[in-house]
Structure 1
Amino acid sequence: MTFSLVARCAETGMFGLAISSSSPAVAARCSFARAGVGAVASQNVTDPALGPKALDLMHSGLRAHEAMAALIKHSQFTEYRQVIAIDCTGSTAIHSGPNSLGIWTQAQGRNVASGGNLLANDTVPQAIVDGFCAAKGHIGDRLVAALRAGLAAGGEAGPVHSAGLKIVDKVSWPVADLRCDWTERCPIEEVATAWEVYKPQLEAYIQRALDPREAPSYGVPGDD
């Protein structure tokens, strides 16, 4: 009931993940990323534990395909899971268990991978990959473009209600973690709007955490 992508910016080394689903709060349960390590989407009858486990394996030095093989070997009920991973080199790996729901498929490119289940058709992940590769600019812009491309290609078999976008860079926390946990409107456009608001402030929020003495003003009443 989900389509997603994991990606790496070849210029900055940032990792990002974008995801949408008919289920509520999909990004809270399915999106994982760690600066300098990679990004993982764990979806389809979700086991959220698989995301941190895969990141730990890649942090230990395993490439994405090696981490995926170890993860699947030592995890239960993997026939129900769909896991998508990208590592610090931009290499990707995908596991789609045979019990993935409905129409399910996957696609990979350099620095990007996508997978989905309960899809409207089997072209959606490739459309997502193509959308990411064709887009320009900040990785956040490219992630939004990719999700929009997946939706335009058919998206899920039914309407989507939640979405999320996560980006990690050089610090230990996500530099962007934007979510729409439920809406009857388009959750992808809700997240896209949040990104347009957040993007110009992203660096300022990082600076406030690292050294508030050098941070720009907060732009609120009473702030000089």
Structure 2
Amino acid sequence: MPMTFSIIARCKKTGQFGGAISSSSPAVAARCLQAKAGIGVAASQNITDPYLANILLDMIKYDITPTDAISELVKNTDFIEYRQLALVNLNDPPAIFSGQHVLGVASQCIGEHAVCAGNLLENTTVPQQMLDAFQMAEGSLAERLLIALQQGLKAGGEAGPVRSAGILVVDKLEWPIIDLRVDWSETPIDDLYELWKVYEPQVEDYVIRALNPSDSPSYAVPGDE
């Protein structure tokens, strides 16, 4: 039952989609974030049904807008009032839904290229502060998502301590180019950002390793000559 604050977004410059999320529950990113290259990114949180994010991504493959996709899902899904959903595609305005049974202090905001939402929050300003931080940040999509997540924590985050965090980014390939998680920690967002800074200079190299191993660089690990 993730008690959560999150951001999902697109990068118009690169075509990437991604999301970042944190919660007091363990392994929140494993359940709540889904993305498909060239299609979009979705979040399903608050008494989570992970399947709903996949349904939304399947719907927008057929040129259904995020707003219409969420509206259709809401009309045809049991227990939808317990869910909080967000959806971003390539060109249309992002969309979000928060059911009447979403837990605690819930809030949400929609920007031009991103959606921020949360439940069981310390205060209602958390999503807006996350969105503001994302829109002001520079760098890669992953960097901007994590800056937003850090700002969410600074703004108050959840009413209680967070324990897990994760980031997911897709680009032009079937698999995510970034899928990093801290599944249980006293400081998951700081740990996730530190993990990202280790992985950041290697992201493109691992893409090359998948597409053309003959051009892939060495990392000088034992036995790698």
What is the TM-score of this pair, normalised by structure 2? Answer: 0.97
Deviation at 1:121, TM superposition (A): 0.3
Query: Which of these residues, 88, 113, 132, is aligned with residue 130 of structure 1?
Result: 132
2:219 is aligned with 1:212: no
Cα offsets for 1:57-116 (capped at 9, x unmatched): 011211111111122122110000000111111520000001000000100101011100
Which residue in the other structure is 1:2 paired with?
Answer: 4
The answer for unaligned runs of 5 or more in structure 1 is none
Change in CA separation of 1:25 and 1:116 when aligned onto 2, cut-off 3 Å: same
Say whether the 8 Å CA contact 1:90–1:112 is kept in structure 2: no
Contact 1:8–1:90, Cα closer than 8 Å, also in 2:
no
Instruction: Find the counterpart in structure 2 of residue 25 from structure 1.
Output: 27
The verdict on how the C-alpha distance between 1:148 and 1:138 changes in structure 2, with shifts beyond 3 A counting, is: same
C-alpha distance in structure 1 between counterparts of 2:152 and 2:98, whole Å = 18
Could you tell me whether the CA contact under 8 Å between 1:2 and 1:43 is conserved in 2?
A: yes
How far does residue 218 in structure 1 lie from its aligned partner after superposition? 3.3
Residue of structure 2 equivalent to 1:71: 73
Aligned positions of 1:172-211 closer than 5 A: 172-183=174-185, 185-211=186-212
CA distance in 2, matches of 1:73, 1:61: 19
Amino acid across the alignment from 1:187: P
Letter in 1 for 2:200: K
Q: Please provide the CA RMSD for this pair.
A: 0.8
Name the SS for the 1:196 alignment partner.
Answer: helix
Alignment of 1:143 onto 2:140:
no
State how far apart, in whole Å, the 1-side matches of 2:93 and 2:172 are: 19
Aligned to 1:222: 223
How far apart, in 2, do the equivalents of 1:219 and 1:3 lie? 39
Matched residues, percent identical? 51
Mapping for residues 40-79 of structure 1, pairs under 5 Å: 40-79=42-81
| Maintained 8 Å contact 1:162/1:188 | yes
Q: Which of 9, 12, 15 lines up with 1:13 in the alignment?
A: 15
Deviation, 1:158, is 0.3
State the Cα distance separating 1:50 from its structure 2 match.
0.4
CA distance in 2, matches of 1:6, 1:156: 18
Q: Secondary structure at the match of 1:84?
A: strand
In structure 1, what is the equivalent of residue 158 of structure 2? 156
Quote the Cα distance in structure 1 between the aligned partners of 2:206 and 2:53: 26
Segments of 4+ moved more than 6 angstroms? none
Mapped to 1, the partners of 2:92 and 2:171 lie a distance apart of 14
Q: Which moved more, 1:69-78 or 1:98-107?
A: 69-78
Q: 2:65, 2:92 within 8 Å by CA — same for their partners in 1?
A: no
How far the C-alpha of 1:211 sits from its partner, in A, is: 1.1
Unaligned runs of 5+ in 2: none
Amino acid at match of 1:121: N
Matched AA of 2:201: P
Deviations along 1:135-179, one digit per CA (max 9) or x if unpaired, are 001111101100011111100000000000000000000000000
- Aligned length in residues: 223
Match of 2:36 among 28, 34, 37: 34
